Amino acid sequence: MKLQKKTLLVFVVLLISVLVVVSIFFSTILLASYSALEEQYIEKDLDQAVSKLDDELFSMSSIARDWGPWDDTVDFVNGNDPNYINSNLQPYGFDNLNLNLIVLTNTRGEILFSGAYDPGEKVMVPVPAFFSGQLDPKNPLMNMSDPHRVTSGILMLPNDPMLVVSQPILHSNFTGTPKGVVIMGRYLNRAEISKLAELTRPSLAFTRTDDPALSPDLVMRIRENNGAAPGIIRQLNADQITGYAFIPDIYGNDGLILQITEPRDIYRQGLNTTLQVLLIIILSGVFLGLVVIILLDRFLLERMKSLAHQVYTIGRSGSATEHVKIEGDDELSGLAAEINRMLETIEQTQAKVQVSEARFRGLAENMPLIIFEMDTTGNLLYVNKTGVEIFGVTEDRIARGTTIRYYLSPENIGMMERGLAAVLSGGPSLGETYTLKRLDGSLMRAIVFTSLIYQEDQVTGFRGIVLDITERLKLEEEIKKLNHDLEVRVRERTEELAEMVRKLQDENAERKRVEEIMLLTNAKLSLMNDVAYQDIQNKVTALRGFLGLIRKAKTDDERGVLYDKENTVLENIHNLIKNTKNYQKMGFDQPEWLDVEKIIQGIILPPDHSITIKNGIKGLFIHSDPLISRVFQIFVDNAITHGKKTTCVSFSCRKTREGITIVCEDDGAGIPAEEKARIFSRVVAGEGKFSLFFVHEFFTLSGVAITETGEPGQGARFEMTVPKGIWRQTDVI
C-alpha cells in the first residue's frame, strides 16, 4: 500500500473518531446554550415592549393629571364655565396632546362632554358607542376613591383597542370631593403600533385573544403564564423565533397578545461557531497526519529539509519570483509545485496590494476631511491634500519636523495630551473639540477623532480625522440668539395678556359683588316688610284692646295697670323697630378680619349684673360683618333675660373636619325640649322673638351653621361651625 493511502487511512480513522465525539458535545451543550441565550434576548425584548406600552399609559396619565385637578374643569362640570369647551376642547387641543378621545363625566357617570379626533384627517369624528351613553359608576374608569390616583389600561373596542386613563375631577389644590372624572384615550392602531415598534422591534404586533389566527391552546398557555415569566417563547422555524406576552384589559379580562418575531441570528451564530470549531479540529487532524507521515517515513527527512531550506531562502530574500526544486514524482514534488504556485499567487497579490494602496491613498488625498498621522510624541508624519491646503503642512515641513502643537491654540494643548493618553490606555476616542490655527491665521473649530497605529503589535503613532464645525457653531449661535429674542417677545406679550385678564377678573368680581348686595337688599326688604307688618299689627291690636279696657275702667288703679301694659307694648314696638334697623345693616358693611377675643371682651353687661364671662378663645380671627359683635351681645343678653338662674357665660372653640366650631354656653335654666325646634323662628309660643332669629339670619348670610345642643335645666349651649377660608388662628388652641 502506498504511503499516501496508509497515511490517508490512519488520518480518516482519527478524524472520524474526533468528529463523532466533538459533534455530540457541541450539539448537546453549546447549541442548547445558544438556544437559551436566544430566549433570554427575546424575553428582554418582550419586557421592553411591555414597558414601552406602560410608558405610553404613564405619559397619558400625566396629561390627565393636568386636566382633572383643575378649577376650570370643576367649574365646567358644575355648569359654571360655558366657554370651557371652546377654550380647551378644540381639534388642535387633541392634536397637541396626541389624543383620540376626551370624555368628561359627573359623579353619576353622566357624560357632560365627549369628543373624538382623527389625527390623520385632522377632523373630529363620532365618539365610540361605549362613550355615547352613561357610564356605570362601578366602571374602573369611574374610580374616584383616591383623588391622586389615575386609572389606566386598555379598553377593547369593536375596531381598534384603546389606551385609556381616567383622573378624578377636583380643585387644583386637591380640596373638596371629586366632581366626576376626565377620561382620555388613544387608539392602539397601526400608527401607534408603528411608533412603538420604532422604539422596540419592527416586528411588534398586537392581536386580540379571540383572533382565529391564534390557537386556543397557545392563548391558554399565554394567559396561564401571565405574571410568572416575561412571556411564552416559540421557535417558528430554523430562521425565526417569536415571543408572546399577555396584556389584560382595564377590567382584568382577556385583552391583547403582544407578539415579537425576530430572526434566529444567535442560533445561526452558534451553528457557525460549531462548524468553525469542527473545521479547526479537521485542520489540526490534517497537521497531525502530516507529523505521523514524517515520523513514519524517515527517508523523507532529507527531501523535506531541502525543501524547507529553499523556502527559507526565498523568504529571507523577499523575492516571490524564485522557485523551489524537488526531484521526484510523489507527494513532496507535488508540494513543491504547490509552493511555486503559491509564490506566483503572492507575487500577484503584492501587485494588487500596491494598486490598492495607491487607490486608497488617492481617496485619502481627495477627501474633504482632514486626515493625518503622527508619532507618539506629536510629530506629524502624514497630512492629506485637504490638510495641506488649510494648514500648509507640506512634505518638506514634515521632513524638517513639525509638531501638531503648532496648530493648536495654547489652551487646547493640555486637553490634547490627556486625550492621547486616554487612547493609549485603551479608551475610545469620543471626539474632542479643539481650536485650530489655519494657514491664513484664522481660527477653526473642529472635532478630532484619533486611533492607534500598530506595527508588529507595537503602537507607533496615531491616525486621526479632523471635522470642521466652525460654520455649524456659528449657525447654532445665531439660532440660540433668535430663540432668546423670541422668548423675550413671547414673555412680554404673555405679561400684557395676564394684566388684561387680571383687570377683567377684577371688574367681573366687583360686578358680582354689586349684584349680590342688590339681591340681599331685596330679600331683606321683603322679609322686614312682612316682619314689621305682622308684629306691629299685633301690637297695635293689643293697644286698641287696652284703650277699650281703659274706657271701661272704674278706678285709677285699674287704669294704671292698663297704662303699664300699654307702655310695655310700646316698648316692644320700639325694640322691634330698633332690631329691624340692625338686621337691615347686615351685608352692607365690608367684611373684615375681626378678633373674636376682643369682641367677647367688648360685651356690655347690666350695671347690677352678677354674671361672669369666661373667654377661652385666643388668637382666633373671623372674616365677617362687624355686626357679629351684636350677635355675641345677644347670646349674653338672652342668657341674662331667659336663663333665670344664670351666673356664668363661657366661650370656647375647637377644630373640626369642616372648619372650627365656636361654643357659647351658660349655666341657666336652658331651653325646654318642646321649644328647641322653634328657637330660631321669628315667632315662639305666640310672642314676637327677634334676637335669635336675627342671630340665625346673620350666620346664614355669613355661611356659618348654628345649632342649640344644651340640656333642658342645665343651661343653653350654642355651637357655630365656621367653614374653612373665613377663619384663621395665630395661637394653638
**For the chain, which domains are there?**
367-468 (3.30.450.20), 586-729 (3.30.565.10)
Reply yes or no on whether the pLDDT at 732 is more than 50.
no
Q: In terms of DSSP bridges, do strands 101-106 and 180-187 run parallel, antiparallel, or are they unpaired? A: antiparallel
The C-alpha cell 503584492 sits at 350
Task: Count CB atoms within 10 A of the CB of residue 249.
Answer: 18
In DSSP notation, 175-194 reads -S---EEEEEEEE-SHHHHH
Beta bridge partners of 660: 655, 722
**How would you classify residue 109: left for phi > 0, otherwise alpha for psi between -120 and 50, otherwise beta?**
left
Q: Closest Cα to residue 175, out of 148, 202, 199, 157?
A: 148
- Most confident listed range (2-6, 361-365, 442-446, 613-617): 613-617
Q: What is the DSSP letter of 318?
A: T
Mutual angle of helices 691-702 and 628-642, in 10-degree steps: 150
In this prediction, residue 614 carries a pLDDT of: 93
Amino acid at 549: L
Q: In terms of DSSP bridges, do strands 687-688 and 705-708 run parallel, antiparallel, or are they unpaired? A: unpaired
Amino acid at 271: L
**Spatial separation of the C-alpha atoms in residues 539 and 571, rounded to whole Å:** 10
What SS3 class is residue 686? coil
Beta bridge partners of 655: 660
Is the Cα torsion angle 275, 279, 282, 284 positive or negative in sign? negative
Question: 283 falls in which pLDDT band (50, 70, 90)?
Answer: confident
Say if residues 432 and 419 touch (Cβ distance below 8 Å): yes
Task: Count CB atoms within 10 A of the CB of residue 450.
Answer: 22
In this prediction, residue 571 carries a pLDDT of: 75
Q: What is the DSSP letter of 95?
A: H
Amino acid at 163: L
**Spatial separation of the C-alpha atoms in residues 656 and 650, rounded to whole Å:** 19
**Spatial separation of the C-alpha atoms in residues 196 and 165, rounded to whole Å:** 18
At residue 125, what are phi and psi to the nearest 5 degrees? -130, 165
What SS3 class is residue 166? strand
pLDDT, tens digit, for every residue of 190-211? Answer: 877 777 766 555 577 778 877 7
Say if residues 272 and 264 touch (Cβ distance below 8 Å): no
Say if residues 56 and 163 touch (Cβ distance below 8 Å): yes
In this prediction, residue 352 carries a pLDDT of: 74
What's the pTM value of the predicted model, to 2 decimals? Answer: 0.38
**Spatial separation of the C-alpha atoms in residues 359 and 443, rounded to whole Å:** 32
What SS3 class is residue 584? helix
**Spatial separation of the C-alpha atoms in residues 679 and 694, rounded to whole Å:** 11
Q: What is the DSSP letter of 321?
A: T
Reply yes or no on whether the pLDDT at 684 is more than 50.
no
> What is the three-state SS of 527-570?
HHHHHHHHHHHHHHHHHHHHHHHHHHCCCHHHHHHHHHHHHHHH
The arithmetic mean of pLDDT across residues 670-683, rounded, is 84
Reply yes or no on whether the pLDDT at 402 is more than 60.
yes
Say if residues 508 and 514 touch (Cβ distance below 8 Å): no
pLDDT, tens digit, for every residue of 113-146? Answer: 999 998 888 899 999 988 877 888 899 999 999 8
501/125: higher pLDDT: 125
The arithmetic mean of pLDDT across residues 275-287, rounded, is 71
**Spatial separation of the C-alpha atoms in residues 307 and 328, rounded to whole Å:** 12
pLDDT, tens digit, for every residue of 589-608? Answer: 678 899 999 999 988 887 66
**Grid cell for residue 359:** 487607490
Amino acid at 589: D
The C-alpha cell 373624538 sits at 116
In this prediction, residue 132 carries a pLDDT of: 79
Say if residues 231 and 46 touch (Cβ distance below 8 Å): yes
The lowest-confidence range among 96-110, 354-368, 415-429, 471-485 is: 354-368
350: CB partners within 8 A, 6+ apart: 320
Amino acid at 120: G
Say if residues 331 and 5 touch (Cβ distance below 8 Å): no
In DSSP notation, 372-437 reads EEEETTSBEEEE-HHHHHHH---HHHHHH--BGGGGB-HHHHHHHHHHHHHHHTT-----EEEEEE
**Grid cell for residue 37:** 441565550
Is the Cα torsion angle 214, 215, 216, 222 positive or negative in sign? negative
Average pLDDT, the chain: 80
526/78: higher pLDDT: 78
In DSSP notation, 338-363 reads HHHHHHHHHHHHHHHHHHHHHHHHHH
- By residue count, the chain amounts to 733
**Grid cell for residue 57:** 399609559
Reply yes or no on whether the pLDDT at 57 is more than 60.
yes
In this prediction, residue 419 carries a pLDDT of: 82
In this prediction, residue 667 carries a pLDDT of: 92
Q: Torsion over CA of 162, 165, 168 and 172, rounded to 10 degrees?
A: -120
In this prediction, residue 685 carries a pLDDT of: 36
Q: Closest Cα to residue 733, out of 638, 655, 636?
A: 655
